[in-house]
Structure formats: structure tokens, C-alpha cells
Structure 1
Amino acid sequence: MGKGADMDGCGQFMKYSMFFANFVIFVGGVTVLGIGVWTLADKAFINELLGTNLFMGTVYILMATGGMVALLAFFGCLGAVKEIKCLLLLYFLLVLVIFVVMLVGGILGYVFREKVHDTMEQEMQASIRMYGQKRAVTRAWDATQETLMCCGVNSFQDWGDQLPDSCCIEEEGKKLPCRYESQNIYPEGCLMLTEMFVKDHAEIIGAAGIITACLLLLGMIFSCALFKSIE
């Protein structure tokens, strides 16, 4: 009888532990989804200058899995409260798949962070020649220069005689005339600033993915324990 009571107590502990773990996982999934949406909405302009789709590909992976994790965590809470064994088993299998995908997405964020310099300078030098000819590249350069307050790849001299207005310093909401006045041009090139900008955001994305993947591992452990404790 003591053993049965002990098992009941253990089962109850696992039940509420899994419920709490899935609540934390739900918050993690929503956080990852939010970071992905923020990055996509506010940072996607820079993608044309990177020379690779790895950065935005990682964002899309984590957005999709973040949304799925939040939904799955809800069903994990339901399975824990209702003590439905088949739902717990399905939960475990789905979480295992998402765990792998999210872990890969998080690692890709860090891999991109280390490789960003290798491709960026070459792509930026190539794309600067397409300014004014390709709309996406033109918008990317203008947005990058105005957002990061920089000009050209290494300096404004990269533009030659085709200096765009986005290189001009802005004061009180107005662009200063800068075509023939270098003191009114953003002094720093965009390569270093863009590299720092992307690396910082890739680190945030990577960390969010890996932390949430670790939380999923916790959810799998509790789901297995609860599955075994249910008679």
C-alpha cells in the first residue's frame, strides 16, 4: 500500500512538473516566434547584401518551429492534466522532431555568425554596381546606409561619382547636401557595421533556438516519466 501511495505521489509530481515544463516551453516557443517576426520585419532589408540565404533561412526555420512548439506545448499541458497516454506518446514523438529541427536552426545561427565575413564583402562589392538597376539591391543599400549610418563598403569612395542620397547625414529630419561635401557624408563604411549588426542578431537567434531546444528536452523527459507512471 505504501508503494502504491508512493507511486501516486510520484505520478502527481511528474504530472505537475510536465505541466509547468510545457508552460515554460510555450513561453519559449512564443519568444522564438517573436524574435523571428521582429528580425523578419526589421532586419530583412540587409539580406540582399549578405551573399547567402543562411541568415534568413535560419529565421524562417525558427519562426516555424517556434509557432509549432507553442502549439505543441498547449497539447502537452492537456495531455498532462487529462493523463492521456496516447497523447503523451504523440507529444513525445513530435517534440523529438521539433527538438532536432530547432537545435539545427540554433546551430545554423552560430555557424552563420562565424562565416558572415567570408561572403559579405564580396557580395557587397558586387551589389554596389547594381545600385539603381535592381530595385531590391537599391532598397537594401539605402536602408542599410540610413539605418546603420554608413556609406559604401569600406568608405564613400566605393560609390565613385554615383553617391546616393542615403549616404548623406540627416539632421532634424532633413538630408544635408553631400555630393560634393564629404563632411556631410557618413564617415564609416558599411562592411564592418553590417557584420557587427548581423553577428549580434545571429547570436540572439541562435541562443533562442538552442535554449528552447533544451527546454524541449526537459519536456520529453517529463512526458516519458508521466507515461510510465500512468496505469
Structure 2
Amino acid sequence: MNHSCVNCLKTMVVNLSFLCWLCGAFVVAFGEFQVINSKYSSLITTFWPIYPANTLVVTGTIVTCVCYLGVLGGMRENRCMLISFFVLLFVLMLVEMTMACVFLGYSREIGTYFEKDLMRSLEIYRQSSAEGNKTIKDDFDAVQQLFRCCGVHGVADWKDNVPISCCTRDPCNTLLHTNWQEGCLVKLRNWFAGNYLSTGAGVVTMFIIQFICLCITIPLFCHFRRSGLGYQ
């Protein structure tokens, strides 16, 4: 392999790894922003580990750590770092593929748990005192006001204890007022699906970059090995 080809491969490894590192850092920042500003985490607890914000933070952190090895390995021509980068990146891609298969295979079960969690939160809200369970109450009120919905399946879920957040007018000052009739389940489910779609698009983009890095790391590592570059 001539010198210009080696330099080209080295530049590609460094640049693509750095690009992947930047993507991972952005994913972590976006995930942290979602965690801080999320108003729905207390309502959905069954599949909290795969909540979009948590998935973004964990995935982004792992990607940044792995891609940092690729950047350093390419710049320093260190085959120990390159082979570590290759192995970790390969494992990471396998994990990403496994997660994608799990989401596809258990999407219906996730929807069922989603409904159960919302009904549980609604019952806690209904049966709580005026000062009890403030987090769940505030989150449920925020959901109803933001998505213009009421209850899980509809306003009937609240029976005779419909909260002010279901009112169609803001502020709601009259004793007899109109409430939103549509339930929040469908709207929240669509919102989560949109988040997972955006997350999936980002993961696919990173997966393509990672695959290219994986392909060009092998010949570069072989060249460094034939050239006698050790594990300095």
C-alpha cells in the first residue's frame, strides 16, 4: 500500500471518527435537554430505561467514548487503539441492531404498558389529596394542557372529578365549562412514536458512519502492523 493511500485512509478514519464523536456529543446534549425538560417521565414508569431521552444519553455517551479511540488511534498511528476501536465499534453496532429488533418485536407490548401506566397515574391523581402526589398531578395537567386532551381514553375516565387542566379555555373561571373530549393515550403514543422515529433516523445515520469506519480501520491496522508500528 503506497504512502498516499495510507494517508487517505488515515485521514478518513480520523475525520469519520471525529464526525461520529460530534454526533455522539450532540446526542448526549439533546438527551440531557429532554431529561431536564420532560414532563412525562413520572407518568410512564414501566419502560423507563428505554425512554427516548435516556436512550439518547446512554447511546451518545458510549459512541463518544468509542469514537475517541478511533480519533486518537488514527492520529497517533497506534494499532492498539485502532484494534480496540474496531472491536468496541463492532460490539456497539451489534447492540444497536439488537435494540432495533427488540423495539420492532415488542412494539405492541410497549403500547400495552403505556396504557397501563397512564391509567395507573390517573387513578393515583383521582384518589390523592389536594397536596398529595404533586409530581404526577403536575405532569398529568401539563400533558392535558399541551396536547389538549382529557383522561386516558376520554373525559369519562375522570368520572365526577375532572381537573381544571381539561378545560378548553384558559383561564377557566366559570363553574360550568367545556372540557376536551379526546383522550391523551393516542396523542401521547403518537408523540412518543415521533420521538422514536427521530431517534431511529439518527441511529441509522450513525450506523452508516460506523460501518464505513469499521471497513477502513482494517486495512489501516494491517498496514501499521506490516510496517512494524508497535503498541506505543
- Shorter-normalised TM-score: what interval? 0.7 to 0.9
Pair 119,140 (structure 1): closer, same or farther in 2 beyond 3 Å:
same
Would you say how many aligned residue pairs link Structure 1 and Structure 2?
220
Amino acid at match of 1:141: F
Match of 1:176 in 2: 172
Match of 1:156 in 2: 155
1:141 matched to 2:115? The reply is no
CA distance in 2, matches of 1:176, 1:113: 38
Shift of 1:50: 6.4
**Among the aligned pairs, what percent are the same residue?**
20
CA distance in 1, matches of 2:4, 2:157: 71
Q: Which moved more, 1:110-119 or 1:210-219?
A: 110-119
- The answer to whether the 8 A contact 1:163-1:179 is kept is no
Shift of 1:112: 6.1
Shift of 1:39: 2.9
Shift of 1:22: 0.9
Q: CA RMSD in A?
A: 2.6
1:218 matched to 2:212? The reply is yes
Consecutive unaligned residues of structure 2, counting only runs of 5 or more, are 228-232
CA distance in 2, matches of 1:163, 1:136: 18
CA distance in 2, matches of 1:93, 1:190: 44
1:22 matched to 2:17? The reply is yes
Amino acid at match of 1:28: C
Match of 1:8 in 2: 3
TM-score by length of 1: 0.80
Shift of 1:151: 1.0
Match of 2:38 in 1: 43
- The answer to whether the 8 A contact 1:109-1:203 is kept is no
CA distance in 2, matches of 1:102, 1:35: 19
- Correspondences of 1:1-231 after superposition (within 5 Å): 6-43=1-38, 45-46=40-41, 48-49=43-44, 51-53=46-48, 55-56=50-51, 59-108=53-102, 110=104, 114-131=108-125, 132=128, 134-171=133-170, 175-177=171-173, 180-182=176-178, 185-230=179-224, 231=227
Pair 164,17 (structure 1): closer, same or farther in 2 beyond 3 Å:
same
CA distance in 2, matches of 1:81, 1:40: 35
Shift of 1:118: 2.4
Consecutive unaligned residues of structure 1, counting only runs of 5 or more, are 1-5
Shift of 1:76: 1.4
- The answer to whether the 8 A contact 1:25-1:69 is kept is yes
Pair 47,111 (structure 1): closer, same or farther in 2 beyond 3 Å:
farther
TM-score by length of 2: 0.80
Relative to its length, the structure with more helix (as a share) is 1
SS of 1:169's equivalent in the other structure is coil
SS of 2:180's equivalent in the other structure is coil
Amino acid at match of 1:40: V
